[in-house]
Amino acid sequence: MSTSRTKQAAGLALLVMAGTLIQGCASPGAAIDKEAQARAAAEQPAPPKPEEFPNPARANWKQGAFPAPKAFERVRPGMGKDPLRELLGWPHFSEGLWGVREWNYIFHFYNGKGSDYTTCQYMVRFNADNLATGAWWKNPECALLAQPPAATPIPASTRLAPPQKLTLSADGLFRFDGAAATDLLPEGRARVERLAGELRRGFRALHYVVVTGHTDRLGGDAYNEALSLARANTVRDLLVQQGIERRLIRTAGMGKRQPVVSDCEGTRASPALLQCLQPNRRVEIDVAGEQ
């Protein structure tokens, strides 16, 4: 190859590399632009549907990765691409060179069965300022693997209470289709407050509290997963207000994935069908600790 052609090829390669690096990074001011970060955090887009996650077979890095400990505790809306890359690494799929608005990952978590592990897909979406607007797991159960309940050393003489599962009917907690603190019914708020008091009095030390929201099968997957997670987060926040340590509480939204009853007939939201599906609309609270 002639010297001129060699220089042209080298120049083209450098141009492509520069374009890739510029596109992969947030703009210099994005990481410190407080107004842009606030806008990104306030956007709160709808969570992606499971079918919107890419096929793992299309990944550039098909083997995925084991994430760094506590990496996901630091992921926040409004973060630029550079700090996210420091936490999570480069995305595992080819996301394109220009106008990149989505990063996708394949992460593995050991599940306590020797060297066996569970594989999960994770998506981060960005706005036009290259700031994260949200991050989601394809399987909501992966959120508990990524941020497991805090482990507390247990003295040998400690009397452990068996893990307990409490179920609260969502119909008694929230207004219909509501999930915010302002949607809590008076009796629902009182019930959660009583529960917090029982946890404080009944356990000398709590090890973890897992709050999981569930919906019925009416409505779309994305809507139900968002609704169930929002309800779980509202219950968590009320528990924290009543003196339960936030670091001990994990939340998850299962949507309609785990119904209690599945033999209800009909597809339209008739009063009879809503009544039949009522047990599925619930918030489950798993608790473990020392008595």
Q: What per-residue confidence (pLDDT) applies to 281? A: 95
Q: What per-residue confidence (pLDDT) applies to 41? A: 66
Encode burial over 205-216: b for 16+ CB neighbours within 10 A, e otherwise. ebbbbbbbbbbb
Give per-residue pLDDT as tens, 65-91.
999 878 898 888 888 898 998 899 999
> In tens digits, what is the pLDDT along the chain, a chain of 291 residues?
444 444 444 444 433 444 443 344 433 333 456 777 777 667 667 788 888 999 999 999 999 999 987 889 888 888 889 899 889 999 999 876 667 899 999 999 987 777 788 999 999 999 888 889 889 998 877 888 888 766 555 555 555 566 788 899 999 999 988 998 899 999 999 999 999 999 998 888 888 899 999 999 998 888 888 899 899 999 999 999 999 998 889 888 888 988 999 889 888 889 999 999 999 999 999 898 887
Q: What per-residue confidence (pLDDT) applies to 70? A: 83
